[in-house]
Amino acid sequence: MSAFLYRLSVACWLGGTSLFTFVLTPAIFKSFNRDLAGRIVGVLFPGYFKWGFVCGVIALVTIFMSSTVRCRTIAVVIIAVMLAITAVQTWVIEPRAAALKKVIPSFETTPKEDPLRVQFRKLHGISVVGNLVVIGGNIALIALL
């Protein structure tokens, strides 16, 4: 049962992250103007990051109970790094980005050089890199199965 829960949590983490990153977010930004799309994605982000964190915690707990995972130490390190990234995204980056979005009147009319937009862009860039690392980490975990 623990091996099943481990695999399921890794699959759900990879699937959720990939779906949100490569399908939903681009579709939302393609379908709506930038400000509305940003608000929609902003509503989804807290749940999205918490979903990843819960999947990561389940993976970390169940990997210790599963005897079928190869290279367990490497997998534990990968999960720990991914959890740290997801925790920072969940409780540091996302709240800061959400606060900035509240004071930026419009991403369509506010100049890109505006200091608030520059701060937001930096946070967004860090979050994007974190997302890609989490996706890559999940692919590595699947390869280790």
pLDDT tens across 48-75, in order? 999 999 999 999 999 988 777 778 899 9
Return the structure tokens found at 67: 């005897």
DSSP secondary structure, 120-140, as one string: HHHHHHHHHHHHHHHHHHHHH
In which domain, by residue range, is 31 found?
2-143
Tally the domains of the chain: 1
Of 85, 27, 28, 26, nearest to 55 by C-alpha is 85
Summary mean pLDDT of the chain: 95
What is residue 66's predicted lDDT score, i.e. its pLDDT?
79
User: Do the Cβ atoms of 59 and 16 come closer than 8 Å?
Assistant: no
What is residue 129's predicted lDDT score, i.e. its pLDDT?
98
What is residue 6's predicted lDDT score, i.e. its pLDDT?
94
pTM assigned to the model:
0.93
E strand residue ranges, the chain: none
pLDDT tens across 63-117, in order? 988 777 778 899 999 999 999 999 999 999 999 999 999 999 999 999 999 999 9
Q: What torsion do the CA atoms of 91, 92, 95, 96 make, to the nearest 10 degrees?
A: 180
Of 22, 17, 94, 95, nearest to 56 by C-alpha is 17
Q: What torsion do the CA atoms of 30, 123, 17, 61 make, to the nearest 10 degrees?
A: -170
What is residue 145's predicted lDDT score, i.e. its pLDDT?
83
